[in-house]
Structure 1
Amino acid sequence: MFRKDAAYIIVGGLTGLGWACVQFLVAYGAGHAVCFSRRKPSQENLKNINDLESSSSCNVVSEQVDVTRYDSVENGFKSVNNRFPCAEIKGVIFGAAILSDAIIESMDNVKFATALSPKVRGAWNLHLITRDLNLDYVVIHSLFPAYMVIKENRIMGLGIRSKMV
């Protein structure tokens, strides 16, 4: 399903559903899986990466990238190309999000923008960087709360919904 001679970028790939996507890529033949994360990997993340690499023929690495900043995304893609010069980038899986745990009506503009930025700016920056690439896959995933329309719905759900409309 995935190519040994290709690289796949997983935004938010160190934890949760993103990490499950990394494991899926590895299980189905990806040659290189690159986790983009705002944070450096924790010791637990590094152990998980090492264990996954040891049990497969896939290179699994992490790059510190803030998808809300174009220059950071650009540098992340350059780093992938430098690290794996013979591996064309063939897919992007995008699952980054920031939970802003507040009722929408009580949020100020800063909290609102902070919660939406990873999805909206991140998706736009990834589009700008990848628009000339010959990608096999672009996956933007999120969470079930996007479909919930209730007063207590968190802003993360709104950000998710904005990408689906």
Structure 2
Amino acid sequence: MLPPARAVSGNMFRKDAAYIIVGGLTGLGWACVQFLVAYGAGHAVCFSRRKPSQENLKNINDLESSSSCNVVSEQVDVTRYDSVENGFKSVNNRFPCAEIKGVIFGAAILSDAIIESMDNVKFATALSPKVRGAWNLHLITRDLNLDYVVIHSLFPAYMVIKENRIMGLGIRSKMV
């Protein structure tokens, strides 16, 4: 049984630590980056399979300019172990004095289709970032002394409901 949670006052995150946010360039992932910065993180590293857009780079620059946190992006495909391993090596090389102390995981790939019409490839494409990505992160981080591991998703993403559409982050009802 877990001990009861206690309220935290002050900074929840460490200035001398790095935190990895998988899927951190947009949406809920970017909100997590902003939360980390607001509550004291020293280094926030966004893992994304894509290079950051000009808008992403501007957002990163604006956030860095308004805080004492280093915010960077690494191109990492969490479905590939070697890519995750290289991403972690890059973080350690970039911030050699900052121990990795947390991972926030929200990777997803949009695969919008009616479930009944999805073949195995489309279904695997939608779930691979969550399943394979989480496993690869587990393998890389299992010997680290992490303070935080947060995996976020919407439960309905994995429910099979007739006439609904599955996406990497959730389901969307077919409009009738």
* TM-score using structure 2 length: 0.86
> C-alpha separation between the residues in 1 aligned to 2:62 and 2:33?
13
Unaligned runs of 5+ in 2: 1-11
Higher helix share: 1
Larger deviation, residues 109-118 vs 44-53: 109-118
Percent identical pairs in the alignment equals 100
Shift of residue 150 of structure 1? 2.9
Shift of residue 71 of structure 1? 0.1
Shift of residue 84 of structure 1? 0.1
> C-alpha separation between the residues in 2 aligned to 1:109 and 1:137?
33
Which consecutive segments of 4 or more residues in structure 1 shift more than 6 A? 157-165
1:1-33 superposed Cα distances (whole Å, 9 cap, x missing partner): 100000000000000000000000000000000
Shift of residue 143 of structure 1? 2.5
Shift of residue 142 of structure 1? 1.1
- Higher gyration radius (CA): 2
Unaligned runs of 5+ in 1: none
Shift of residue 83 of structure 1? 0.1
* TM-score using structure 1 length: 0.92
**Which residue of structure 2 lines up, in the alignment, with residue 102 of structure 1?**
113
User: For the Cα contact (< 8 Å) 1:18–1:95, is it kept in 2?
Assistant: yes
User: For the Cα contact (< 8 Å) 1:91–1:136, is it kept in 2?
Assistant: yes
1:65-87 superposed Cα distances (whole Å, 9 cap, x missing partner): 00000000000000000000000
**1:3 pairs with 2:9:** no
**1:144 pairs with 2:155:** yes
1:27–1:66 CA distance, 2 compared to 1 (3 A): same
**What secondary structure, in the 3-state scheme, does the structure 1 residue paired with 2:74 have?**
strand
